[in-house]
Amino acid sequence: MAEVRWDGVTKRFGEVEALSELHLQAAEGEFLVLVGPSGSGKTTALRLLAGLEGVTGGHIYIGDARVDNVPPRQRQIAMVFQDYALYPQMTVERNLAFGLRIAGLPKPEIRVRVDEAAEILGLSDLLKRKPRELSGGQRQRVALGRALVRRAQALLMDEPLSNLDAQLRAQMRSEIKRLHSQLPTTTVYVTHDQVEAMTMGDRIAVMEGGRLRQVDAPATIYEQPANIFVAGFIGSPAMALNTVGVASTNDGAVLSRGETTFAVGPAALPREVVLGVRPEHCRPWADGAKLHGPFEGGVVAFEALGRESFVTVETAAGCRFTVGCEGTAGVGIGDRFRFGVSHGWLYVFDPASGESLGRH
């Protein structure tokens, strides 16, 4: 197991720059998740690490070795693909053993490793079957197994759970986490699903448009997003973002748009900022609670999820907030709704650069 590093890596496809000067590393044994929308460059970064593509600029390191021009088979990495990529004419056993046989490992050794991986993944009964006879979840486990037997320095996963239904996905998520705790291989995991990212990663690297936007532990990413993109991408339902004006008063800064105002105490802020508030910090108005507000607006949307619901409210000034409520909110579109915002949970961002200006 080894550390992997992207050192100023750039990748261009013709005119298009898919990855710009990526500086990122995954420490030994770390589970690093690359997350972002399509076109963010996360898959490019993974494929460059695997050696399936060549870098246009910068370097890739696996361990101490610079591997820019090293072919995939010599990088000692293993990869799990979204469509599993199992060899269709071979049994599970031969699928697992394929790479080992090419490497020239002696038969007994191959046997040992295959059985071991099969045991860990619960595949021992399926060794003689062919991929087409397996369910989606079983196939994914075989794909994992194939990566396991290689005892690679790094394990790369390209959206492996995207083809599974929601329930299976949840199951496999914990399976993969369990595996990682048992065999802590350096893992780089690519996904577009932020739930996967948040639950699985030791650290999350949020990417957008070929650039790294923030890399941190999940909690940090959630509570201290570095910019508007990360703030809006992570968290479901998404953080409500509104542009507001800033006025200076004796008591400090006041953020406002129309009658929607927030007094935030002393703060050095530009004249206009983007204000972000997460749904869990917007509450239906209750007198006596320590909240900014009351604010009132018309209900434009709501989602009732049983245990909780989310009501999107638009104030007269045109600001939209998503209010988290316990249970079912019992509102209809167009109803008036009063809500407040918790103190200390206003995220402020610079409108031009998108960078975070702190939490107030």
Partner 1 sequence: MSQEAEQHALRSRRSHPRSPGEPRLVPYLYLLPALGLYAVFALAPLGHAAWLSFFNWDGVTPATWAGFGNYRAILSDPQIRSAFVHSFVLVIFYCVIPVLVGLLLAGIFSRAGSVRGLSGFRTVLFLPQVIPTVALAVTWRWIFGPDGPFDQILRAVGLGSLARAWLGDFTLALPAVGVVGSWVMYGLCMVLFIAGVQKIPQSLYDAARVDGAGPVREFFAVTLPGLRNELVVAVVLTLISALRSFDLVYVMTKGGPGTSTDVPALEVYTRAFEFGEVGSAAAVATTLALLIFAVAFLVTRLGSRGTT
Partner 2 sequence: MISRTEQVGNYVVLTLFSLLALAPIAALLLTALRPAESLGVGFTFPHSLHFHNFVDAWHTGEFSSGLRSSAIVTGATVAIATTLSIPAGYALGTMRFRGDTVLFSLFLVGLIMPFEATIIPLYYDLRRVQLTDSYWGVILPSAALSVAFGTFWMRAFFLSTPRSLIEAARIDGATSWRILVSILLPFARPAILTMMVLTFLWTWNDFLLSLVMLSNPAIQTAPLKLALFQGRYTTDVTGLAAGSMIVALPVVAVYLVLQRHFIRGVLSGAVKG
In 209-222, which positions are buried (b, 16+ CB within 10 angstroms) versus exposed (e)? Answer: ebbbbbbbebeebb
Which of 29, 57, 63, 72 binds partner 1 (CB under 8 A)? It is: 72
Q: Please state, in angstroms and rounded to a whole number, the distance separating the CA atoms of residues 358 and 306.
A: 33
Regarding 81 and contact with partner 2 (CB under 8 A), the answer is yes
Q: Which residues contact 19 (CB under 8 A, 6 or more apart)?
A: 9, 10, 11, 41, 44, 45, 48, 210
Cβ-based nearer residue to partner 1, 12 or 111: 12
DSSP state of 355: B
Q: How far is the CB of 103 from partner 2 (least distance, A)?
A: 6
Q: How far is the CB of 92 from partner 2 (least distance, A)?
A: 14
Nearest to 335 by CA among 293, 281, 284: 284
The single residue listed with the structure tokens 């191959």 is 110
Regarding 88 and contact with partner 2 (CB under 8 A), the answer is yes
Q: Checking DSSP bridges between strand 77-80 and strand 308-315, what pairing results, if any?
A: unpaired
Tokens of 87: 């060899």
Regarding 38 and contact with partner 1 (CB under 8 A), the answer is yes
Regarding 146 and contact with partner 2 (CB under 8 A), the answer is yes
Strand order in the sheet with 252-257: 260-265, 252-257, 240-249, 272-277, 347-349, 356-359
Q: Residue 98's binding partner, choosing from partner 1, partner 2, none, with beta-carbon cut-off 5 to 8 A by kind?
A: partner 2
Which of 82, 162, 199, 224 binds partner 2 (CB under 8 A)? It is: 82
Regarding 87 and contact with partner 2 (CB under 8 A), the answer is yes
Which of 8, 27, 59, 74 binds partner 1 (CB under 8 A)? It is: 74
Phi/psi for 256 (5° steps) reads: -155, 155
Half-sphere exposure of 134 (CA within 13 A, CB side): 23
Q: Residue 89's binding partner, choosing from partner 2, partner 1, none, with beta-carbon cut-off 5 to 8 A by kind?
A: partner 2
Q: How far is the CB of 158 from partner 2 (least distance, A)?
A: 8
The helix/strand/coil state of 145 is helix
Q: How far is the CB of 52 from partner 2 (least distance, A)?
A: 6
Q: Residue 108's binding partner, choosing from partner 2, partner 1, none, with beta-carbon cut-off 5 to 8 A by kind?
A: none
Q: Which stretch binds partner 1 (CB under 8 A): 52-60, 138-146, 178-186, 350-358?
A: 52-60
Q: Contact letters (x/-) for partner 2, 42-61, by CB under 8 A? A: --------xxx---------
Task: Name residues contacting partner 1, limited to 148-167 (CB under 8 A).
Answer: 158-159, 162
Cβ-based nearer residue to partner 1, 39 or 293: 39
Q: Which stretch binds partner 2 (CB under 8 A): 68-76, 107-115, 196-204, 267-275?
A: 68-76
Which of 70, 90, 238, 254 binds partner 1 (CB under 8 A)? It is: 70
Q: Please state, in angstroms and rounded to a whole number, the distance separating the CA atoms of residues 319 and 174.
A: 39
The helix/strand/coil state of 256 is strand
Contact 215, 254 (CB under 8 A): no
Tokens of 243: 């542009």
Q: Which stretch binds partner 1 (CB under 8 A): 37-45, 127-135, 203-211, 331-339?
A: 37-45
Bridge partner list, 100: none
- Residues within the interface to partner 2 (CB under 8 A): 50-52, 71-73, 77-79, 81-83, 85, 87-89, 98-99, 102-103, 146, 150
